[in-house]
Amino acid sequence: MRQAPGQANQQLKPASTGKRRMLASAVVSGLTLALAGAMPVIAQSKDGKLKVGLMLPYTGTFAALGTAIENGFRLHLNEQGGKLGGREVELVKVDDESDPAKATDNVNKLIKRDNVDVLIGTVHSGVAMAMAKVAKDSGTILIVPNAGADAVTGPMCAPNIFRSSFSNWQPGYAMGEVMAKKGHKRVVTITWKYAAGDESVRGFKEAYEKGGGKVIKELSLPFPNVEFQALLTEIAATKPDAVYTFFAGGGAVKFVKDYAAAGLKKSIPLYGAGFLTDGTLEAQGADADGLFTTLHYADSLASARDNAFRLAYAKTFKLQPDVYAVQGYDAAQMLGVGLNAVKGDISKKAEFAAALKNAKIDSPRGVFTLGKSHNPVQDIYLRQVVGKENKVISVASAKAITRYKTFT
């Protein structure tokens, strides 16, 4: 704007003492008002919505698993009126595509772009490893609702990292004991070549060979490849007493059907970690009948807690729950336990961790606790497929822990 003649010179003259006092008073008043206005905002940031980042697979081989985990999490959240620890929960979702190469970028987006307070994820062990590294480095609380990568609650364990599911070692080791006791002397293993498959087979082999059996061949193919025919031909030619396998999701469906179609089911018994038949029975049909698996959940536990959960889940989502839904539900339960202990103040991480360390989680799977490295200490069940259910036969391993006991 054009200045009036002489205006510039007037502005350059020093202000009088009275004017300087008035100006100083105005500045102080303005700062006081600004601080007064800012204080409620600070309080809101502490007591407002809790942002929870769900980093799960919503596309690809494990898409159904990611959906079930989210459903379970939402079910518990709904039961609590949408609040945990007195704070309303806002969910922020990212599709991790079960791709480890994208994992670090995806988790950093949740932390740095979306400013989430808590991370929940994921299914794929390779992706979970990347999540755990970022969580450990940033101090962000992470609850793993599926991926069993041993290192997450082993060498990479940290005070702010928890698991509501299992370690890959747990169901594998339990099945190794079962198959050794059944008298199978020569076994072939087959799985995807990635952390979950390798660690499941390792746990199985440890227990099976300790029981007197011998793994005569270890077969694998890259994740998520489902071209099994060449490997099935190799199994037929090897003629083992039995086969142990780790597959899940869509890959598990195709493997079970291909195994039966190759005529192997009748001559070479097939066993697996429970993911082989969990959430997959509808698609596998009669080809899954009679299969034995080991897992920390089953369809016929028949406890009052599990019955109530199954009824609520079916009513809410018009689907039957599986182990993935249970793990999502328990991830929300665990988050609630920690938040209740700190009255919603997620910055109190030591108190949050102490509450979970001492907690007994009332899960549909049965009550479990957390070990020193924050992995569930839980029963592993021997199940058999009967119709479209994984029926409990017995407890294969009572209160199974993992090989890692402390933080490193």
Distance, in Å, from the CA atom of 168 to the CA atom of 384, rounded to the nearest integer, reads 20
What is residue 20's predicted lDDT score, i.e. its pLDDT? Answer: 43
Residue 46 banded pLDDT, cuts 50, 70, 90:
low
Query: If pLDDT is split at 50, 70 and 90, which confidence band does 28 have?
Result: very low
Q: What's the start-to-end Cα distance of the chain, in Å?
A: 67
Question: Strands, E, within 161-223: which ranges?
Answer: 161-163, 186-192, 214-221
Q: 338 by DSSP, 3-state: which?
A: helix
pLDDT level of residue 401 (50, 70, 90 thresholds): confident
Torsion of Cα atoms, 88 then 63 then 148 then 274, to 10°? 120
Report pLDDT digits (tens) over 306-354.
999 999 999 999 999 999 999 999 999 999 999 999 999 999 999 999 9
pLDDT at residue number 404:
54
The total of other beta-carbon atoms located within 10 Å of residue 1's CB is 3
Highest mean pLDDT among 3-7, 348-352, 404-408: 348-352
| pLDDT band at residue 294 under the 50/70/90 scheme | very high
Average of pLDDT values for 256-262?
98
Can you tell me the mean pLDDT for 215-241? 98
Q: What is the mean pLDDT of the chain?
A: 90
Percent of the chain with pLDDT over 70: 87
Interval 358-396: pLDDT, tens: 999 999 999 999 999 999 999 999 999 999 999 999 999
Res 86 pLDDT > 50: yes
